[in-house]
Amino acid sequence: MTATTETRKFEAEVAQVLHLVTHSLYSHKEIFLRELISNASDACDKLRFESIAKPELLSGDAELHIDVSWDPEARTITVRDNGVGMSRDEIVANIGTIASSGTKRFLEAMSSEQKTDARLIGQFGVGFYSAFVVADRVTVLSRRADQPAAEGVKWESDGKGEYSLEQVELAERGTSVILHLKADEDEFLKPWTLKSLITRYSDHVAFPIRMPKEVEGKPGDEWETSNAASALWTKPKSDISDEDYQSFYKALGHDFNDALAWTHNRVEGSQSFTTLLYLPAQPPFDLMMGGRDERKGLKLYIKRVFIMDAAEELLPNYLRFVRGVVDADDLPLNVSREILQQNRQLDRIKAACVKRVLDLIEKLAKDEPEKFATFYKAFGNTLKEGIAEDHANRERIAKLLRFASTKGEGSAQTVALDDYIGRMPVGQDTIWYITADSHAAAIGSPQLEAFKAKGVEVLLMSDRIDEWMLGSLNEYSGKKLKNVAKGELPLDEADKKQQEEASKAAEPLLKKLKDLLGDRVSDVRVSPRLTDSPSCLALSDYEMAPHLARLLREAGHDMPESKPTLEINPQHALLKRVEGEGDADKAKDLATLLLEQAEIAAGAPLPDPSAFVQRMNRVLLG
């Protein structure tokens, strides 16, 4: 072994990825070719970008391309690019270790749900390792474009825990990945198989993908291009078929499923740019697994030169599920030529992207309700984040939201705010809703009883984000939104009079309950909300719903303790029993149970579940 040759062990997480990929990726194993071509395309993109500042990097070989060749005798497939290449340190960093913070989630998802296997490859930067699905040994030869021929690197591994590194002489820049196929993978030594995979997965890679012409069953010396090799988004829309759009989406998004919808637009003027934006049919894995901090999928090009995954700069967080490309004629970059400078041009493109996406979703809602239902099921909660994050488009976003309702169909979220307003009787000026941690808890809430009795529709909101969202959605289309469990209910004169009389008649009972409950409540009062249940909690207008406060505490947040207001129905048999109970201990048990059942119905945690059980047993035993 020379001074430039060494054997190293894979980082632990790489070893886990290799084990899972080679043992679990039993379907769609042809994905290896898509991923290696994608990596090669990235290498060509990087070189084209670096050559803007250093044109000499392209000297002698300015036409960037990707070559896919096969050798039936050696039983190898080689994917070669003349892109930027890698240095020794870069090979160790890119192949020997995994820097992605998403790797842990990748491993968890691959371990727990193998049916999602191939869709995960490529989305966490682990596409290279799919080579070991079909190969029992992989060799990488690479030389960086700015390094001399003597600085080439040979990397080799059987994927079982170790890899070797060797310094070699390489006349040409770029990277070759050589796959030594397993004994039962002969199908990939057939040129028509390779060509069909290139057409299916990589047709719209913006560099020529070349294959040798076949001569008597063997690769010849002449090369022919096997893909369209053009940037799809630069073509006129009339020249692009739906199949072309879907094929490009699958390559762009590492997705086996069709996109749900897309919008393709060219803006001309003082600033010209093209956008091609897709709505996936199901959540991408980076969205499902905490994608707010690791956002990819919207690629920025400047005059067809790939610059960066620029989702953060070009779309707000609440639209992070969008996939696509933005190609600008010009945008200023900072000194490092990596980070976009904030300016009016960027703001204009971002505003255009947001408008196009919202236009597309609105079109689905209007013209294709089935597709919209699919979209909303996948991304409705993510879209709700925009209510708080995008003040300028709040009304447009709110118009797209759907909820369950007391006049809807079960738990289905199909009722729009406009639907609700269209059904409001004359004189009603409030959109009523209730939040809970499940649909069953919402529809069964005692706070709804008076509204049901009067036929007033109430929106049932049971997603965790709803309570937070509603902090920013106080009004829609001139109508106030109000929680049925919060604040004072508006009463007509007859109801006010009845409420006053009931409160006056119940004064002794109210005083008794306040004495029995002590500092566990801030107040006890007669409820205008209840018709059938004995008790419920009432919140102030700005108080957080108990179920949300509980979730935040469970997540480690410090939440201020607040004493609830207990509302009672003095006509209920349980309240009559409390009123007539002479035994102080039994009366206290009954009063406390009235409070605790109201807390349970509101989603609040019981302070002492064991004491609750003992108290319940005492009451049941009489």
Q: What is the 3-state secondary structure (H, E, C) of 510-552?
A: HHHHHHHHHHHCCEEEECCCCCCCCEEEEECCCCCCHHHHHHH
Q: Would you tell me how many other CB atoms lie within 10 Å of the CB of residue 297?
A: 23
Strand ranges, E, within 377-486: 404-405, 430-435, 459-461, 475-476, 479-483
296-302 mean pLDDT = 78
Whether residue 456 is predicted with pLDDT greater than 80 in this model: the reply is: yes
- Its sign, for the CA torsion 113, 114, 115, 118, is positive
The per-residue pLDDT of the chain, averaged, comes to 86
* Sequence-ordered strand ranges (E) for 72-151: 76-81, 135-143
Cα–Cα distance for residue pair 141/143, rounded to 1 Å: 7
CA distances from 555 to 558, 607, 617 (A): 9, 18, 32
Confidence of residue 1 (pLDDT cuts 50, 70, 90): very low
Tracing tokens 């002492």 back to the chain, one arrives at: 608
H-helix segments, 368-448 = 369-389, 394-400, 417-423, 439-443
**Number of residues assigned to the chain:** 622
Phi/psi of residue 9, nearest 5 degrees: -90, 145
- pLDDT at residue 161, as a whole number: 83
Query: Residue 330 corresponds to which tokens in the numbers above?
Result: 């010009």
455 contacts: CB under 8 Å, gap ≥ 6: none
pLDDT at position 67, please?
98
**What are the tens digits of pLDDT across the range 421-435?**
999 998 899 999 999
Tell me the C-alpha to C-alpha distance, in Å, between residue 271 and each of 237, 334, 352. 20, 19, 12
* pLDDT at 285 > cutoff 80: no
Given a cut of 60, whether residue 441 has pLDDT beyond it is: yes
- Longest pairwise C-alpha distance within the chain: 104
- Decide which of 311 and 598 is more confident: 598
pTM surpassing 0.85? no
pLDDT digits (tens, 9 = 90+) for 242-283: 999 998 898 887 788 899 999 999 998 878 899 999 999 988
Whether 44 contacts 80, CB under 8 Å: no
Per-residue model confidence (pLDDT) at position 303:
75
**What are residue 535's phi and psi, to 5 degrees?**
-155, 160
**Position with higher pLDDT, 292 vs 477:** 477
- Residue 124, pLDDT > 50, answer no
Per-residue pLDDT reduced to its tens digit, 493-536: 888 999 999 999 999 999 999 999 999 999 999 999 999 999 99
- Tell me the mean pLDDT in the region 127-142: 91
231 and 252 Cβ atoms separated by less than 8 Å? no
pLDDT tens-digit map of 173-226? 999 999 999 999 999 999 999 999 998 888 878 899 999 999 988 899 999 999
If one compares 466 and 296, the residue with the highest pLDDT of the two is 466
What distances in angstroms separate CA 513 from CA 454, 531, 561, 588, one per listed residue?
29, 19, 21, 8
Determine which of 286-295, 345-354, 410-419 has the lowest per-residue pLDDT on average. Answer: 286-295
Is the predicted pLDDT of residue 108 greater than 60, yes or no? no
Is the pLDDT higher at 552 or at 150? 150
How far apart CA 294 and CA 556 sit, in angstroms, is 23
The pLDDT of residue 574: 94
